[in-house]
Structures are given as C-alpha cells and as structure tokens.
Amino acid sequence: MVTKAVVSVSVAASITSSKLLINPSHRFSCLKSLSSLNSFSASALAIKCRGLSNCTSIKSARTMEGFTTITRASAQPLQNADELIASVETFIFDCDGVIWKGDKLIDGVPETLDMLRSKGKRLVFVTNNSTKSRKQYGKKFETLGLNVSEEEIFASSFAAAAYLKSINFPKDKKVYVIGEDGILKELELAGFQYLGGPEDGGKKIELKPGFLMEHDHDVGAVVVGFDRYFNYYKVQYGTLCIRENPGCLFIATNRDAVTHLTDAQEWAGGGSMVGAICGSTQRDPLVVGKPSTFMMDYLSDKFGILKSQICMVGDRLDTDILFGQNGGCKTLLVLSGVTTLSMLESPSNSIQPDFYTNKISDFLAPKTATV
Amino acid sequence: MKQGLKLAMEATNSNPTSTAAAELLCGVNAKALLDSVDAFLFDCDGVIWKGDKLIDGTPETLEMLRSMGKKLIFVTNNSTKSRFQYANKFRSLGLSVSQDEIFSSSYAAAMYLKVNQFPLEKKVYVIGGEGIVQELQLSGFTALGGPEDGEKRAQWKSNCLFEHDKDVGAVVVGLDPDINYYKLQYGTICIRENPGCLFIATNRDSVGHMTDLQEWPGAGCMVGAICGSTERKPIVVGKPSTFMMDFLLQKFNLSTYRMCMVGDRLDTDILFGQNAGCKTLLVLSGVTTKSILDDPSNKIQPDYYTSKVSDFLNFLGE
C-alpha cells in the first residue's frame, strides 16, 4: 500500500511550491517511491496523511485554493507504461512540448493518442497558451493530422471566460483584454462584452500637458495573457480600470515566464505581461491557468471524473506538474519540451512528478523505455 | 564625508524607521526644520512639476531656500532624461538648476556599472528612454536598445531565431513608454542566456505623474514584466535604494541628518530619506493623498507632511 503525501499548494503567484515541514525522521516513512500504483481517491489519501501523527510543524501556505503541500520522493523513470495506463481513466496533456513544438508535431504522437483511445481512455488537452480559442486549437490539431475535437481542448483563453461565467460576471459589465485573439473569441462565445485586444496594439499615446486618457468605467474585469502586441497604451488602460473602477477584477490567464512560440527557442511568456500589470497596480491577479486548479475542477466537474483517475502529462514542472499535484492527480513529466533531466534532478528543483519519460510515444514501447 | 551606507539591492518596504505619525508642517516646526538642515533633497515629479507643468510657487520657494544658504539637490527616479536633459527642463521652466545638482536614476544606472567596473567591451541593453542611453554613453559604455527599438517587431516563424548580442553583459530597465514585445524578448533572452548578465532596474515606482492630469504606469511596470519572464530580481539603483546617496555625499560635504528629503511617494522618496538617515517631508501635491498616509495599511510615516513645497513661503511669512 502506498502512503503517498498528498495534495499540494497552488502557488498561483510563484514558481515553486511551498513545503510542509515534516519531522525529518519520519519523512521517508510517509513517502514511498511509486514503483507500483494503486488507485484510491485523493480524499482517502488526504485522510491518511492527516492521520499520520508524526507529521509535525506543518506550515500551511495561504493560497487561492488553500491547500497544503508535502515534499515528495524523487520522480521515477517510466518503466511500466501499461500499468500507468491501466490505472487511470483520463489523460490530460499539455500541448507545447508534449504534442507539438511550435507548429511541428513531436514524433509518435498520433499513434500514441490513437492507442490510448483504443484502450478506452478519455483524452483532454489543457494548454496555458491563450492566443487561440478552443475552436482555433481544434483546427491546429486537425492540420497536424490529429483527431481531437474542440470539446476536448481547454486553453487558458477558455478558462478566463469560464471563470467569469462561474462567478456570474454581469453581462452589462465589460472586460478589458491585454492579450490576443483567443481570449476575445472565448469571451464573445460566453456572451461577454470586451474591449482592447490586438487592435489596441496600434494605439499610441503622447505624454504632453493637458492630455487625459479616458477609460470605460463599465469595465469590471481586466484579463491579461500572452500579448505580442503589448504596449504602454494597454498597460495604462488596464491599470486605470483596475485602480479606478470599484471592484474591478484582475485576471491572469497564466504566468509562464517563457513559452515555445517557435520550436527553436524560448520567448517571453504571459508571465511578462502579467508582471507588468502587477508592477503598475501593486495587485496580485487571480490566475485561471496552470498551476491553478481552476481548469482541473472544471474538467472533473464537467466529465464527472475523480481526480485520482487522471494522469497529467506535461513538460513544465512549475505549471503542468504542479497543476497535476495541486489537483491530486498522477503526474508524468516528458522531456520533449522545456525541462531536461538535469533540471529535474537539480537540488534547486522542489517539484517531483510521479514519473518521467522522454516523450509520450514511449507509451507505445513495450515495458522499459530508456531515458 | 562618507557614511557607511549599505547598498540596498532591492526596493522593499522593509525597515521603516519612524513609526510615530507624521506632523503637519506649520509656522513653528517649519522654522525649526529649516534651522536643522543645510540641504534639501527634492524629488521632481509631483513635487517640483507634474509632467511639464510647474507646481505653483515652486520657483519662489527654491529661490528663498537658496537665499537662506540651503543647498538644493534634485533626486529623481524618472530615468527618461539624463542629468543634462533635466537641467534643460529646469531651465525651460524658469528654474536655475545645474546638472551637478541633479541625480537621476539614469545617472545612477551608469554609476552603478562604473563603480562595479563593468567591462567597457561588454554592452548594455536598455529597456528605457534616451536618458539612460545618454548617461551610459557619457560613462563610456556601449548601449543597445532604448527608444529606437520601440519600432522593432519580432518575427516568429518556424526555424526563425530571435537574434541577440551575446556581448550584452547587463540589461537596464527603466520607465519606457515605448515598451513592446521585441524589447521584452531581447532583454529576457540576454538575462536568461548570456552568462552573468546583470539585471538592473533604475527604479520600481508603480505609477507617476508623467502628465499633469493623471498618473501613468512607472518603471515598476517594465521591471515587473522582466521579473515575470526571467524569474529574477533586479538590482535597484534608484530610490528607495540608497545607492545614489554615496555620490551625493561625496559631492556635498554634509551629514545626512542635516538633510531633508522632500517627496510625494512613501515607498520611494520617504523610505529613501529614512534609509539614509535624513529628515523627511511628504508633499501631497503628487501621488499620495492624506487618506493614503493615514491608512492603517501604510507603515511609512515621514517626519512631516504638507500640501506642497510652496507652503514654506507661507510659513516663513508668519
């Protein structure tokens, strides 16, 4: 029986998860390496953990979701893919660095997805990339020859709109967008009025005497995401709304520091635009994308699945893996994206997935995949 | 006379030394304040001017202080101009201030690199205005970026690499109304990929009076953006870091307790003054209102507060 430490913090605004301080001598009795998996519910695990009277000096971190985290055993190389596959009902895949890199499909992906489907697994795709809507992502999958429907795709652009819907954001209020087309499309689909977006990228301001920048006092939320058309006009507009419109929400699609826009290198990510607005408003945003569990809760609710029945597959420790851990799922890191084995094993890394492997097509290999 | 001042590497709200509530300036304490200081350090935006408009009564007040033998020094976090350009701005507004009396954060950035012996063969990428570029050049450094990169656009095609100069050894970030994705990306890649590349912030003010009618996002915005993409903290050279104080003290043979810092921001001007051991006077002609000062969440209390600099004229007339 595996007694695995459970449920971790969604540190929405920071990169590494905070750790509970467990009495060191009992640390390894609490955590066993996961060479075999049993499926049991996350809540059962939680009870097991709380019942461990040896867990002393537990410091709970206050976060958006209010969970607490425990240091984990090191990630195991994936040696028995069949066993992992059999133990879950749903696979959640990140996209950049897992399915594709830029516009290039990663080797073996179509066959892997087909195999999982043939075994009756539900496939869901959760990406922090907010530049496209679900529909637009559906088209990208299609162009790459993958059989994925838009209902299986959850981009952070969708998450922003879904969040506003979940809090009954009034339809007579407006949303100012510092971000790209994907966010606008999802807001429109959800029936919200929006301002801003790419076209404000062309607006210039002149800082001269007597000039006053007006802003719409009906803006009740500012949504900030990755924005290649970022400029001072948008920063000021968003800042004015947040500072001056009473109760105005500050929502971030995600805070990824860098993103793989092209397969060749890293690009400054949504974390940059969000950081800019944090700097001018001195406020922290509500984050709807990974590692926040908003999308996980939404999914499990929508599909009626237990989180313990899910395996999150991603290439980033501080978003994908933390997302999976925060949600109480199993986690598999692939090394086909931004994270290397040395980064995983570095002493400064505190996020350990359950498993790691080279790429998802390792699922196709019999038994042992050499990493 | 140099005091042992610690270089504050990050702008934080730690260690506010005064916890007693600020005193409203009046005839009696204004005279006492004037007797107890030999130099006044003035912030500029929201104290001397708002955008390009002088705040009423400022020229007369500065004249009066000079006639009383007080030294006047101007310490501004606004890095868009060099000291030389600021001297021109003062002149155009009818104020006689020499460049030696001005300590802008643009100058601070160049001085930081100088005192830390930044190699001249290395380059500096600037996310900021002409002021930073000019001060760097005056100190003999090679500056890339600045306002002209405001026109550049990044290209993202498969197999297309965003090029950056591998000789960039420091990225300096300040207020940049021409901020765009190209600059964010350039600065990010330098910091992440050039070994040992420094990340220097002129300041982290969240907003400021870039025009007379309203507040605008300050350098804190651009610095926040680069923090977000690099996951690194910057070295801050402007207020409340006391880095500039060493230069000030070298130039004017004074003790900091014989100085009064006059500013409109609690977390930069007043904290700077307190960190350095000066007396502090908050003016309400800029970004801070009385209710912000009085709010329970505010931990920074200046020694004195008043509505604007020219109140000195009224008090001394009493």
At residue A370, the pLDDT reads: 54
Q: What is the pLDDT of residues B163-213, one digit of tens each?
A: 999 999 999 999 999 999 999 999 999 999 999 999 999 999 999 989 989
- Output DSSP code: residue A104: E
- B35 annotated as belonging to a binding site for a ligand: no
Q: Left if phi > 0, otherwise alpha if psi is -120 to 50, otherwise beta: which for A8? A: beta
Which comes out higher in pLDDT, residue B215 or A40?
B215
Helices A294-303 + A156-166 axis angle, to 10: 80
Average pLDDT over chain B reads 92
Tell me whether residues B212 and A210 touch, CB distance under 8 A.
Answer: yes
State yes or no: pLDDT of B300 exceeds 50.
Answer: yes
Which comes out higher in pLDDT, residue B260 or B3?
B260
Tell me whether residues A230 and B184 touch, CB distance under 8 A.
Answer: yes
Quote the minimal CA–CA distance from B211 to chain A in Å: 6
The whole-angstrom separation of Cα A202 and Cα A186 is 22
The strand pairing partners of B200, in sequence order, are B172, B235
At residue B161, the pLDDT reads: 87
Strands B23-24 and B304-306 come out as: parallel
Which of B238, B240, B223, B9 lies closest to B127, judged by CA? B223
Closest alpha carbon within chain A to B54 = A209
At residue A235, the pLDDT reads: 98
The strand pairing partners of B168, in sequence order, are B123
Interface of A with B in 191-230 (CB under 8 A): 205, 207-213, 227-230
Which comes out higher in pLDDT, residue B5 or A130?
A130
The whole-angstrom separation of Cα A165 and Cα A225 is 18
B308 Cα distance to chain centroid: 19
Tell me whether residues A263 and B159 touch, CB distance under 8 A.
Answer: yes
Quote the minimal CA–CA distance from B311 to chain A in Å: 24
In this complex, the residue of B159, B222, B229 whose CB is nearest that of residue A258 is B229
State yes or no: pLDDT of B5 exceeds 80.
Answer: no
Collect all residues of chain B within an 8 Å Cβ-Cβ radius of residue A15: 231
- Output DSSP code: residue A200: G
HEC secondary structure over chain B: CCCCCCCCCCCCCCCCCCCCCCEECCHHHHHHHHHHCCEEEECCECCCEECCEECCCHHHHHHHHHHCCCEEEEEECCCCCCHHHHHHHHHHCCCCCCHHHEEEHHHHHHHHHHHCCCCCCCEEEEECCHHHHHHHHHCCCEEEEHHHHHHCCCCCCCCCCCCCCCCEEEEEECCCCCCCHHHHHHHHHHHHHCCCCEEEECCCCCEECCCCCCCEECHHHHHHHHHHHHCCCCEECCCCCCHHHHHHHHHCCCCHHHEEEEECCHHHHHHHHHHHCCEEEEECCCCCCHHHHHCCCCCCCCCEEECCCCHHHHHHHC
Tens-digit pLDDT string for chain A (371 aa): 333 333 333 333 333 333 322 233 333 333 333 333 333 333 332 333 333 333 333 233 333 444 555 567 889 999 999 999 999 999 999 999 999 988 889 999 999 999 999 999 999 999 999 999 999 999 999 999 999 999 999 999 999 999 999 999 999 999 999 999 999 999 999 999 999 999 999 999 889 888 999 999 999 999 999 999 999 999 999 999 999 999 999 999 999 999 877 777 889 999 999 999 999 999 999 999 999 999 999 999 999 999 999 999 999 999 999 999 999 999 999 999 889 999 999 999 999 999 999 999 999 986 554 56
Tell me whether residues A279 and B224 touch, CB distance under 8 A.
Answer: yes
At residue A371, the pLDDT reads: 60
At residue A104, the pLDDT reads: 87
Domains and CATH numbers, chain B: 2-77+239-316 (3.40.50.1000), 121-236 (3.40.50.1000)
Closest alpha carbon within chain B to A257 = B229
Sign of CA dihedral A223, A225, A227, A230: positive
- Candidates B222, B229, B230, partner chain A, best to mutate (most A CBs within 10 A): B229
The DSSP H or E segment spanning A154 is strand A153-155
At residue A11, the pLDDT reads: 35
Tell me whether residues B221 and A277 touch, CB distance under 8 A.
Answer: yes
Burial class (CB in 10 A: 0-12, 13-18, 19+), A119: exposed
At residue A103, the pLDDT reads: 84
User: Both tokens of residue A363?
Assistant: 């699922």
Kindly calculate the radius of gyration of chain A based on its CA atoms and give it in whole angstroms.
21
Closest alpha carbon within chain B to A260 = B156
The whole-angstrom separation of Cα B199 and Cα B237 is 11
At residue B249, the pLDDT reads: 87
State yes or no: pLDDT of B238 exceeds 70.
Answer: yes
The mean pLDDT of B207-223, rounded to a whole number, is 94
- B178 annotated as belonging to a binding site for a ligand: no
User: What is the DSSP annotation of A221-268?
Assistant: EEEE---TT--HHHHHHHHHHHHHSTT-EEEES---SEEEEETTEEEE
Burial class (CB in 10 A: 0-12, 13-18, 19+), A85: middle
State yes or no: pLDDT of B254 exceeds 90.
Answer: no
At residue A368, the pLDDT reads: 52
